[in-house]
């Protein structure tokens, strides 16, 4: 934003009207991303006015689309539609087919939000024909999914499911994983509407897993919202309450709550839903208490009639014994509490020392690398050829990836130290999780020209926490890529062993020294070992792997020879 404001200042100073218009438009774009809608509208209206003075039809069209979208966010549908109509005329005049499809999609979205489903459907079917004519497969998938939403809004859930499955098939053919995530979540909601809750929850979980693997918080947010709706329909208030809390946590990460009245209203809406769920839980608890009270009252009356004096005598003995037992218990609890607090203080100090050590050593190195290389490319840009620039950019990317992996492991590790991670076991296909993780590292393997061979046959269903196991596989594959030389090979294999599934990952990299191998899973300090391309690590990944596998009733071990490579193996139960 500061850079665009500087550009605006210089454009005005040099009387460059076209650059002034672009600067206003770009400033409006930044304000839109930060949900500062009034400031965004003011900037883009200035840009549009300058484009009109210059007769720049294309610029007017872009500004009109941006303004329409802003008023749509503010629920001012009349103003929004007016700008979209203006943009549609301009895009038709310029024969801009791509821009025209964007405008039609946005107009359909507004009509859908207004409940004008027939008009929205007409736009979407026109769009679908255009996408088919232009052979835009991804566009076909998007529109088919949108048509499913319209049918679901009409209550035609069977037809909606058919359209979602059609969109899913298209997305699979082009490997559009984000589209697959949306399809699965929407399928879950449609199945929920016809009370097929088990299928619904499985579909939503699938969408959530894909979104998590892609790092797409908007998709995981959408999935959590779907979980809340399904659990509410089931009257499973405990699960709904947990899902609502997860939703709000992701929402707080994704948005700044204080930036606009719109976001505040959304927050209030979901806080109200949370309170509604809490009220339902309280009602259930009160009903149980009332039933228990009625039973106790009846029993009390019977005992009073059958032996009042005996009851008084026993009650007196019970009171004396109760007070005596409470005193003993209170004394023991005080002693145990002091002991536990001492242990927690020791653990906290150890955790703090490890945390500071990692930040001071392992996080500093890749940051220095990024800073040094970025300064080099800035200072020597003109003297560097394209090959040298490409190599330096790749080094910067590699160091950034190392920083991201370290921070991710550091955050997960710190949560395990404070016992903030709750295990949620479920049945899932381990092979699908492996494929999801591999997608994340595909480019990294390609950069080092490492052949990663997946030997995954059929389904390998296990019973464990899928998020924990995803973290384990991610760390093991990251280490294998880190310590394998260029043109090397990595093999990932899963096989059934009685009532367990065995996962193994082997490489022909640099291997592990015998002394390091003995304490590789120990939580006693850490030792950084550089990868074959000088990649760095903290050793936290293997600590997390051991902890998560053990929590899920599995075993993990390693075999390695220096210069020959390593083989990491873990097992997980099937039930």
- Band of the pLDDT at 210, cuts 50, 70, 90? very high
Distance, CA of 156 to chain centre: 30
Q: What is residue 120's predicted lDDT score, i.e. its pLDDT? A: 87
Give the pair of three-digit tokens for residue 480: 């294998």
Classify residue 247 by burial, with Cβ atoms within 10 Å: 0-12, 13-18, 19+.
Answer: buried
- 490 in a structural domain: yes
DSSP 360-403: HHTTHHHHHHHHHHHHHHHHTTTTS-HHHHHHHHHHHHHHHHHH
DSSP 88-120: HHHHHHTT-HHHHHHHHHHHHHHHHHTT-HHHH
Q: What is residue 473's predicted lDDT score, i.e. its pLDDT? A: 93
Task: Assess whether 282 and 424 both reside in one domain.
Answer: no
Least confident of 25-29, 105-109, 185-189, 415-419: 415-419
Least confident of 300-304, 410-414, 458-462, 555-559: 300-304
Query: Total domain count for the chain?
Result: 2
Q: What is residue 417's predicted lDDT score, i.e. its pLDDT? A: 57
Radius of gyration of the chain (CA): 30
Q: Which of 389, 391, 390, 365 is nearest to 378 (CA)?
A: 389
Residue of higher predicted confidence among 445 and 294: 445
Question: What percentage of residues in the chain have a pLDDT greater than 90?
Answer: 39
Give the pair of three-digit tokens for residue 386: 């394209």
Top-confidence range, 37-41, 269-273, 295-299, 319-323: 37-41
Note the residue count of the chain.
Answer: 575
Of 231, 262, 286, which closes a domain?
A: 286
- 237 in a structural domain: yes
In sequence order, the 6+-apart residues with CB closer than 8 A to the CB of 121 are 147, 150
- 184 in a structural domain: yes
In sequence order, the 6+-apart residues with CB closer than 8 A to the CB of 64 are 48, 83, 84, 86, 87, 90
pLDDT tens sequence across 258-268 = 344 444 544 45
Least confident of 55-69, 180-194, 477-491, 516-530: 516-530
Q: Is 530 helix (H, G, I), strand (E, B) or coil?
A: coil
Q: Which residues constitute the domain of residue 544?
A: 420-573
Give the pair of three-digit tokens for residue 38: 């009034």
In sequence order, the 6+-apart residues with CB closer than 8 A to the CB of 372 are none
How many whole angstroms separate alpha carbon 469 and alpha carbon 264?
A: 36
Mean pLDDT across the stretch 121-145? 89
- 567 in a structural domain: yes
Of 286, 310, 327, which closes a domain?
A: 286
- 325 in a structural domain: no
Task: Assess whether 569 and 427 both reside in one domain.
Answer: yes
Of 243, 269, 286, which closes a domain?
A: 286
- 268 in a structural domain: yes
Confidence check: pLDDT of 6 > 90: yes
For tokens 């007017």, the residue is 60
CATH number of the CATH domain containing 214: 1.25.40.10
Mean pLDDT across the stretch 492-519? 90
Confidence check: pLDDT of 405 > 90: no
Distance, CA of 45 to chain centre: 35
461 pairs with which residues across the strands? 429
b/e per residue, 429-445, with b = 16+ CB within 10 A?
bbbbbbebbbeebeebb
- Band of the pLDDT at 418, cuts 50, 70, 90? low
- 252 in a structural domain: yes
Q: What is residue 544's predicted lDDT score, i.e. its pLDDT? A: 82
Confidence check: pLDDT of 127 > 90: no
Mean pLDDT across the stretch 271-293? 60
- 331 in a structural domain: no
Confidence check: pLDDT of 299 > 80: no
CATH number of the CATH domain containing 432: 3.30.565.10
- Predicted model pTM: 0.44
- Band of the pLDDT at 519, cuts 50, 70, 90? confident
The overall average pLDDT reported for the chain is: 81
Q: What is residue 247's predicted lDDT score, i.e. its pLDDT? A: 85
Mean pLDDT across the stretch 170-183? 93
Least confident of 87-101, 326-340, 351-365, 501-515: 351-365
Least confident of 103-112, 161-170, 313-322, 452-461: 313-322
């Amino acid at each position: 934003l500061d850079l665009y404001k500087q550009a605006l200042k210089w454009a005005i100073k040099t009387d460059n009207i076209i650059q002034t218009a672009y600067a206003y438009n770009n400033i409006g774009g930044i304000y839109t991303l930060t949900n500062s809608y009034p400031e965004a509208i003011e900037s883009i209206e200035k840009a549009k006015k300058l484009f009109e003075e210059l007769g720049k039809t294309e610029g007017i069209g872009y500004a009109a689309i941006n303004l329409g979208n802003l008023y749509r966010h503010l629920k001012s549908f009349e103003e929004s539609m007016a700008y979209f109509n203006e943009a549609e005329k301009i895009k038709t005049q310029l024969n801009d087919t791509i821009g025209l499809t964007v405008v039609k999609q946005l107009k359909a979205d507004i009509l859908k939000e207004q409940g004008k489903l027939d008009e929205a459907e007409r736009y979407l079917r026109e769009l679908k024909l255009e996408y088919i004519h232009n052979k835009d497969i991804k566009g076909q998938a998007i529109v088919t999914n949108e048509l499913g939403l319209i049918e679901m809004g009409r209550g035609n859930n069977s037809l909606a499911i058919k359209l979602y499955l059609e969109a899913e098939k298209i997305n699979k053919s082009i490997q559009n994983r984000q589209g697959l995530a949306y399809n699965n979540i929407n399928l879950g909601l449609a199945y929920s509407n016809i009370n097929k809750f088990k299928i619904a929850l499985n579909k939503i979980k699938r969408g959530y897993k894909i979104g998590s693997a892609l790092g797409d918080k908007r998709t995981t947010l959408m999935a959590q919202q779907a979980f809340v709706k399904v659990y509410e329909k089931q009257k499973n208030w405990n699960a709904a309450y947990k899902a609502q809390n997860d939703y709000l946590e992701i929402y707080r990460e994704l948005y700044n709550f204080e930036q606009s009245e719109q976001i505040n209203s959304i927050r209030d809406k979901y806080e109200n839903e949370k309170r509604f769920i809490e009220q339902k839980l309280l009602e259930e608890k009160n009903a149980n208490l009332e039933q228990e009270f009625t039973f106790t009252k009846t029993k009390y009356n019977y005992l009073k009639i059958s032996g009042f004096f005996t009851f008084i005598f026993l009650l007196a003995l019970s009171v004396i014994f109760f007070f005596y037992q409470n005193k003993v218990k209170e004394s023991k609890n005080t002693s145990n509490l002091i002991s536990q607090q001492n242990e927690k203080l020791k653990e906290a100090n150890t955790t703090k020392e490890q945390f500071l050590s990692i930040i001071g050593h392992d996080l500093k190195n890749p940051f220095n690398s990024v800073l040094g290389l970025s300064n080099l490319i800035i200072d020597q840009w003109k003297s560097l050829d394209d090959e040298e620039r490409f190599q330096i950019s790749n080094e910067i990317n590699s160091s950034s990836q190392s920083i991201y992996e370290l921070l991710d492991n550091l955050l997960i590790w710190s949560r395990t130290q404070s016992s903030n991670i709750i295990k949620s076991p479920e049945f899932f296909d381990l092979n699908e999780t492996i494929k999801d993780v591999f997608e994340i590292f595909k480019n990294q393997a390609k950069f080092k020209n490492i052949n990663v061979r997946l030997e995954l046959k059929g389904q390998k269903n296990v019973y464990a926490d899928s998020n924990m196991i995803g973290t384990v596989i991610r760390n093991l594959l990251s280490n294998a890529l880190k310590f394998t030389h260029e043109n090397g090979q990595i093999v990932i294999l899963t096989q059934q062993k009685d009532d367990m599934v065995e996962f193994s990952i082997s490489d022909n990299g640099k291997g592990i020294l015998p002394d390091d191998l003995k304490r590789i899973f120990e939580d006693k300090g850490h030792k950084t070992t550089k990868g074959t391309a000088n990649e760095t690590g903290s050793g936290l990944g293997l600590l997390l792997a051991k902890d998560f596998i053990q929590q899920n009733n599995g075993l993990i071990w390693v075999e390695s020879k220096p210069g020959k490579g390593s083989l990491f193996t873990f097992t997980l139960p099937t039930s």
